Amino acid sequence: MDDQDDLLRVQQHWQQGRTVAQQTASEAELARFATVHQIQLPADLVRYFALVNGTGGAYDEPFFCFYALEEVQTVAERFHDYHGTPKYSDLLRTWPEHGQFYVFADYMMHLFAYAIRLDVHFTSSNPVFVLCGGSYQLIAGSFTEFLGLYRRDSPVLYMGNEEPGE
C-alpha cells in the first residue's frame, strides 16, 4: 500500500461522512505555527494540514476527531487543567517528554488522545503516542504511520496489541 495515498483515502472517507474541515491551512498559517512554537513541521504533517486540516470539529464514523492547525496544542497547553476522566493532567507529572508533544486528535471525546513529537530541528522520526489519563504508549514513528493504523483501525490506537499478520 502506498503510504502517500493514505491521506487521500482518509480525506475521501471524511468527505463522504461530511466530517472534513471547510478550510485548509495556508503556507502562512503553517509558518506562523512553526515560528510561534519554535518547531519544524514534518512534511507529512504539513501535507495533512494543507490538504485536509482536520474533521471540522466533528467526530467521524469510528468516532475520531482530528484537529485543525489552530486547535493543535502541546500536551501541557491542552491538558494542564484537565481533571475529567481520564485525568490527562496527570501526564504533566508522569511523562517527562510531554513538553515536546502536540495533541492532534482524540477518540470518543478524549477517551484516548494522540500526540506527535515536534522539535526545533527537523528529525528523521516524529513519534506518535496514544494517551489515556496519565498513561502514554508509542504507536507510530510518524504521522504517516499513524494514518495507516487509523485506516485499518489497529488495536494499538486503543492501547492494545497489534494483531498477528498486521
pLDDT digit string (tens) for 2-18?
555 898 888 888 888 87
Q: What is the pLDDT of residue 161?
A: 86
pLDDT digit string (tens) for 140-151?
999 999 999 999
HEC per residue, the chain: CCHHHHHHHHHHHHHHCCCCCCCCCCHHHHHHHHHHHCCCCCHHHHHHHHHCCCCCCCCCCCCEEECCHHHCEEHHHHHCCCCCCCCHHHHHHHCCCHHHEEEEEEECCCCEEEEEECCCCCCCCCCEEEEECCEEEEEECCHHHHHHHHHCCCHHHHCCCCCCCC
What kind of fold does domain 3-158 have according to CATH?
A: SMI1/KNR4-like (3.40.1580)
Average pLDDT along the chain: 92
Tell me the domain boundaries of the chain. Answer: 3-158
Predicted structure pTM score: 0.93
